[in-house]
Amino acid sequence: MTTYVLRRVLLFVPTLWVIATLTFLIVRLAPGGPFQSEREIPAGAKEQLQRTYGLDRPLPEQYVRFLGNTVRGDFGVSYRYPQRQVRDIALAGFRVSAELGGWALLLAVLAGVPLGVIAAVKQNRAADHAVMGLALAGVSVPNFVLAPVLVLLFSLTLFWFPPALWNGPMNRVLPVIALSAAYVAFIARLARAGMLEVLSQDFVRTARAKGLTEAAVVIRHALPLGILPVVSYLGPAAARVVMGSIVIEQAFAIPGLGRQLVGAAFNRDYTLVLGIVLFYASLLLVLNLLVDLAYAKLDPRVELS
């Protein structure tokens, strides 16, 4: 396992280099620039700003300097907020996005796994059809539609929850529900498919033949293998739920990482875009590695190679 982990960590380097290079080229070749505004900046002041941030240098020289700073973990200051380091902005936004994504993912697992197990145990019965109907609705309704509907119903009509911001526990309810709905649906479908495959295997029939209760057969014997598809999905989902909350953060005015990325893209804030993209890519690679290790732990038949 140690050799496998070291090999995967070494592969992070070329992967992050490719992502950094593509992102650098895309943001630099895109129309516009960080110092354009509705009111034109004087030519002298604009030249001074470009000289200060090194944007007057040839593109290859800027790229080499960017790679050197990235290796040291230094992304510089934000063009939009010159008094703040990109690293500090990304970490502040990540704390908010990680909390939002963590609650959403926890709700998705706590709701999706039991629903999928129930659907598998009650295959082709009313409970199965009801769960799969809810899952289909969860997958079909995008969160940019669900979010305003929740605000309209629970904030502006029933006055149960605040409609926006991130100030207290009550502010978290609607964003978490809106973000987790699709993940509940996916996890329920994956759990159902995994459990159906496991419940038809010989060791489950042997457990039933020994006289074990159905609950013991399902929970102790079938569930650890039946949720393996869910475990595989959780790694990319955990990273995606952090960055996939862009729409939710915009809809509920939440100061998270996704909202920072949208603002940086609109403002052509090169350093902030590059820092957030590389932060997200690193997070995704680490989570995928952890999922592979967890998969091998849950299923002894899996060998890390």
Give the pLDDT confidence of 148-163 residue by residue, as tens digits: 999 999 999 999 999 8
Q: What is the mean pLDDT of the chain?
A: 84
pTM: 0.77
Give the pLDDT confidence of 32-81 residue by residue, as tens digits: 777 766 566 677 777 787 777 778 788 888 899 888 888 888 888 888 88
Give the pLDDT confidence of 96-123 residue by residue, as tens digits: 888 898 899 999 999 999 999 999 888 8
As a whole number of angstroms, the distance between CA 264 and CA 270 comes to 7
**What are the angstrom distances between the C-alpha of 254 and each of 93, 257, 259?**
9, 9, 7
Structural domains present in the chain = 1-305 (1.10.3720.10)
Tell me what pLDDT residue 48 has: 80
Pick the more confident residue, 282 or 242.
Answer: 282
As a whole number of angstroms, the distance between CA 62 and CA 70 comes to 12
Tell me how many degrees the CA angle 142-148-151 measures, rounded to the nearest 5. 135
pLDDT-derived band of residue 130, with 50, 70 and 90 as boundaries? Answer: very high
Tell me what pLDDT residue 149 has: 92
Tell me how many degrees the CA angle 275-266-274 measures, rounded to the nearest 5. 15
Give the pLDDT confidence of 250-261 residue by residue, as tens digits: 888 888 888 888
**SS3 per residue for 61-97:** HHHHHHHHHHHCCCCCECCCCCCCEHHHHHHHHHHHH
